[in-house]
Amino acid sequence: MEYDIVIVGAGVMGAATAFYLSKYGKKILLLDQFRVKNTLNSSQDYSRVFRYEYGDDEFYTNLAVESLKLWKEFERETGRQFYFQCGELLIAESKENYALKCYKTLKKLDHPVDLLDEKDLKKRFPQFSAKLGVLDHHGGVLEASSVVESFVERAKKNGVLILENAKVIRIENDTVFLDGKNIKFKKLVVTCGVWTSKLIDVPITITKQQLVYFKPKNIQNFTKDKFPLFGYLDKGFYGFPIHGIDAVKVSNHLPGKVVDPDEDDRKVSEDFIESCKSFFRKFIPDLADTEVVKTKVCFYSMTSDEDFIIDKLNDRVIIGAGFSGHGFKFAPLIGKILSDLAISGETQYDISRFRMNRF
Ligand SMILES: Cc1cc2nc3c(=O)[nH]c(=O)nc-3n(C[C@H](O)[C@H](O)[C@H](O)COP(=O)(O)OP(=O)(O)OC[C@H]3O[C@@H](n4cnc5c(N)ncnc54)[C@H](O)[C@@H]3O)c2cc1C
């Protein structure tokens, strides 16, 4: 069996790549070691953050602008909503922090952003208690699992073959080896998330990230029309308004313990739950004594500089990896870039920061 292009890994990056490649009329196979809908990869959940703000890193803000155009294009094409704009509020205790950098950069690039002092903040978002707030108007919730499903559905409709429960054991020249089966390819795209370095030598570290879902007593105060995405990124905490589950989802963006994704017990610790509660006591008091209704562990695949790895490894193999806990919002753009690299070896987008040779 030979395919023009084989994509290994059907998380959001592989799924988006399959969707963009499906427009070229090539013979394409997308395969995954699990079912597309699984609980183990990094792309499946009710929600992911979309935001324009990236501190003073204009490169990623500009990338987010490009990506939002593609999210909207995908929404038009499918007739479904994946991006729910509700704003992202960065809170802080002092003026010397990440939130203020975001404010200055978004202002400079002429994107809508508000700087709120303690009084304004209390008036606009009474749920929060902080000295300072910065509201990125483009912040929004991405409906993560539906996105992956829809990319795959569309790709399938356009003729891409989907093979589930198909684990690639090794890659050699023009062949991927599965248990009892070999598949030949002209081009290969590897989007294996936290498992990438089990197949290809890439400098990524896997860290354990914990998520907790708290059910507020007054749910109506935490819906997207009243309560934005929030982050205190100097301390790492961030969270979501209610979306897909009657709970506020909270996590910490600071990289957790280094693990092997196949060996970790995937349990959320009591200490982590307590750290969320103590964050709430200070900054979102109404959430401090609420019930935990769900917990989840998910893994980041971190590069040393937190920039992605998007590159050709050789004439046949293309890689998309190391998304360092902030890749989801760029998924359509990354899918498009990986499909460009598979089709023509080049892309119109600037991927100089994502090349392998920087390591
Ligand atoms: C807790 C958490 C919160 C995050 N929050 C945000 C956020 O709010 N905003 C944001 O922009 N980004 C966020 N991210 C980052 C984003 O979710 C990830 O960067 C993105 O989902 C990675 O997608 P992926 O397709 O590369 O990997 P994955 O989703 O892990 O998919 C890789 C797939 O490859 C398959 N695979 C692996 N090895 C093999 C093999 N040998 N054979 C066959 N298949 C294989 C796996 O089964 C898997 O399905 C977050 C990540 C985590 C973990």
8 Å CB contact between 224 and 311: no
Specify the ligand 1 atom closest to the Cα of 49.
Answer: 8
DSSP 66-91: HHHHHHHHHHHHHT---EEE--EEEE
CB neighbours of residue 1 within 10 Å:
11
Q: Is the CB of 329 under 6 A from ligand 1?
A: yes
Specify the ligand 1 atom closest to the Cα of 326.
Answer: 12
Strand, coil or helix: what is 341? helix
Give the pLDDT score at 264: 84
Q: Ligand 1: which residue has its CA nearest to atom 21?
A: 43
Q: Low-confidence residues of the chain, pLDDT below 50?
A: none
Half-sphere exposure of 225 (CA within 13 A, CB side): 2
Domain limits, CATH 3.50.50.60, in the chain: 2-45+144-202+305-358
Q: Which fold has domain 79-137+205-302?
A: D-Amino Acid Oxidase; Chain A, domain 2 (3.30.9)
Q: Is the CB of 192 under 6 A from ligand 1?
A: yes
Give the pLDDT score at 97: 84
Give the pLDDT score at 305: 98
Instruction: Please tell us whether the domain made up of 2-45+144-202+305-358 is placed in CATH 3.50.50.60.
Output: yes
Instruction: Calculate how far, in angstroms, residue 325's C-alpha sits from the geometric centre of ligand 1.
Output: 9
Q: Is the CB of 8 under 6 A from ligand 1?
A: yes
CB neighbours of residue 269 within 10 Å:
14
Q: Is the CB of 195 under 6 A from ligand 1?
A: yes
- Rounded to whole angstroms, the Cα distance separating 266 from 269 reads 10
Instruction: Calculate how far, in angstroms, residue 43's C-alpha sits from the geometric centre of ligand 1.
Output: 4
8 Å CB contact between 290 and 219: no
Q: Is the CB of 105 under 6 A from ligand 1?
A: no
Beta bridge pairs of residue 190:
8, 319
Instruction: Calculate how far, in angstroms, residue 12's C-alpha sits from the geometric centre of ligand 1.
Output: 7
8 Å CB contact between 19 and 335: yes
Q: Is the CB of 12 under 6 A from ligand 1?
A: yes
Give the pLDDT score at 234: 85
Q: Is the CB of 45 under 6 A from ligand 1?
A: no
- Rounded to whole angstroms, the Cα distance separating 87 from 125 reads 12
Question: Which helix H or strand E contains 17, and what residues bound it?
Answer: helix 12-21
Give the pLDDT score at 96: 67
Question: Which helix H or strand E contains 191, and what residues bound it?
Answer: none
Q: Dmax over Cα atoms in the chain, in whole Å?
A: 66
* Mean model confidence pLDDT for the chain: 97
CB neighbours of residue 14 within 10 Å:
30
Q: What is the pTM of this model?
A: 0.98
Domain limits, CATH 3.30.9.10, in the chain: 79-137+205-302
Pocket test for ligand 1, best of 34, 39, 43 (most atoms within 8 A of CB): 43
